[in-house]
Amino acid sequence: MHPIPRHGLPPYRVALIHGGPGGAGQLAPVARILASKRGILEPHQSARSVEGQLEELHTQLLSTEEGPFQLVGHSWGAWLAFMFAATHPGLVEKLILVSAGSFDPAHAEQLSRARGRKLHQHERDLMARIERALQTREHPPAWAWHRLLEISLKADSYACLPDMGDKIPPQWDVFLPVWQEAAALRASGELLAFGELIDLPVVAIHGEDDPHPWTGVAEPLGQVLEQFEMYRLPRCGHYPWKERFAREAFFARLEEALDGTL
* pLDDT band (50, 70, 90) for residue 130: confident
| Better-scored residue on pLDDT, 74 or 147 | 74
In this prediction, residue 36 carries a pLDDT of 95
Report the alpha-carbon distance of residue 199 to residue 247 in Å, rounded. 30
Report the alpha-carbon distance of residue 86 to residue 92 in Å, rounded. 9
Where along the chain do its domains lie? 6-109+174-259
* pLDDT band (50, 70, 90) for residue 236: very high
Please state which CATH number belongs to domain 6-109+174-259: 3.40.50.1820
How many CB atoms are closer than 10 A to CB 200? 17
The model's pLDDT over 45-62, given as tens digits with 9 standing for 90+, comes to 999 999 999 999 999 999
pTM: 0.92
